[in-house]
A and B are shown apart, each in its own frame.
Chain A
Amino acid sequence: AQSVTQLDSQVPVFEEAPVELRCNYSSSVSVYLFWYVQYPNQGLQLLLKYLSGSTLVKGINGFEAEFNKSQTSFHLRKPSVHISDTAEYFCAVSSLGFQKLVFGTGTRLLVSP
């Protein structure tokens, strides 16, 4: 079984500042890792994914994440945030069979001017 921990329920940040959203996972088998973004009353949009290869993954909207196997982490970063990045961000894990995604509880990113 897998589990995901997103320790920060809310992260306030000023526009143009850098941000890091933390994600730690637990699994007894190899996993794939994902970050999704959810805007109010919307579904989830994939930001980026780690399947294999380079541990630094670049995604859409200037986001990137680094897979750290020894620390079982997959933190999401953006060097300069915009007001439009205000949303809920979910980290998720799946086994290599990709039968289902296990999500964390989410981190609300609040960007203010």
Chain B
Amino acid sequence: DTGVSQNPRHKITKRGQNVTFRCDPISEHNRLYWYRQTLGQGPEFLTYFQNEAQLEKSRLLSDRFSAERPKGSFSTLEIQRTEQGDSAMYLCASSLTPTGRNTEAFFGQGTRLTVV
């Protein structure tokens, strides 16, 4: 297994356009998380899935953002009508359902979004 994979690594888009990012988690992991990291800040939680169910969404996830995990495997994060404030690194992570010592999240390398 090569770990959590995110595509694309970089995306430049014009304001007002829609963008979609993909995350492929570690294959046996049933939890998948999305975070956003702006320059000079720590990652901020956006949402997470247990299998295909989206169990929690941050208030940071405005109605322009939508995430899906249709078959409990890969996930997509779509941003509609992008704004310059959406420019950030979008990080995906995955984990097993925590039971004791396996409690940890593995992160992908992120997708850097630049809105011009």
Contact = CB atoms under 8 A, between A and B. Distances in A.
A34 B107 CA distance: 13
Contacts of A100: 33, 45, 48, 56
Contacts of B45: 100-102
A102 B105 CA distance: 12
A27 to B, nearest CB: 15
Interface in B7-46: 33, 35, 40-45
B95 A44 contact: no
Contact of A43 (B4, B33, B41, B101): B4
B44 A34 contact: no
Nearest to A39: B109
B112 interface: yes
Contacts, number: 60
How big is chain B's contact interface, by range?
20 to 34
B4 A49 contact: no
Interface stretch (A13-21, A61-69, A70-78, A103-111): A103-111
A81 B40 CA distance: 23
Given A99-B48, A99-B56, A32 B103 contact: yes
Interface in B72-116: 91, 93, 95, 98, 100-101, 103-110, 112
The 4 closest A-B pairs by CB, nearest first: A103-B42, A43-B107, A98-B98, A100-B45
Interface of B: 4, 6, 33, 35, 40-45, 48, 55-56, 91, 93, 95, 98, 100-101, 103-110, 112
Interface of A: 4, 32, 34, 36, 41-46, 49, 51, 90, 92, 97-106
